[in-house]
Amino acid sequence: MALIAMAVFDTEENKRTELTRSTLLSLYDTVDWDKHRLFIIDNNSCGATKTMFGNMAIRNPMLNWTVITLPENIGTACAINKAWALRNPGEHCIKMDNDVVIHQSGWVDEMEEAIANDPLIGQIGLKRKDCWEFPGHANPEFRSELIMLPHIAGDRWRVVERQKHIIGTCVMHSSALLDKVGYLWQPGLYGHDDVVMSHRSELAGFYNCMLPHINIDHIDHGETSYQGWKEKYAGEQTQQVIDVVHQMIRGERSIYFEM
């Protein structure tokens, strides 16, 4: 069983309600909700999104979905952490965004199976089509490695793509990793939590990888002013993130983060 957490901050200005709807319909179709559970953490979204959550609960009362409603926007990482605080012992946690459509059923189970086959996997994500990493990349920073996971006779073969940075669109964090590093950390309301967690995972003795064969689409095309705000906001936090990561590498700052 896995815990899936999705932070939502939809406003009339950023026009993300339909993105959230498409993401949730995708999850409805591709996840076994008898096995896994979803926490939606609503960072005080607009009325349209709140109404949508209510309608989905009425139409699908048996779904293993919970909405945590907050009075204000506390940021992505802090919102996700509220759900992760409810994880059961041994339960892996997925952090996912509300602007992705997943086209293949059973992807959560495949993530769990990969970690079961190789407990050294700290993070395993679904790979967007705009990612740069591939095994033949000229830049070592973006050069990935295909790994065939340990195999038991009679079981199917599994291949993952090991890379340094796992973009945070949809990422499972192993229970063993979370036991060692705690919760997500980011310097503000948005951005960099995935970059920092990728470093923390490696510093904790794990490696990070993707399941590149799972077909997904990132559906936010950045057509509103919200995209510009995100880029500007994240850019202003970059130096602080670099400093924090270097402090962790030098052992001056703990990789464990408590809420």
Residue that wins the pLDDT comparison between 234 and 56: 56
Q: How far is CA 204 from CA 4, 89, 178, 198, in A?
A: 22, 19, 10, 10
Express as a percent the part of the chain with pLDDT over 70: 100
Architecture per CATH, 2-249: Alpha-Beta Complex (3.90)
Summarize pLDDT for 173-226 with one digit per residue, the tens. Answer: 999 999 999 999 998 878 889 999 999 999 999 999 999 999 999 998 877 777
CB 123 within 8 Å of CB 172: yes
Global pTM reads 0.94
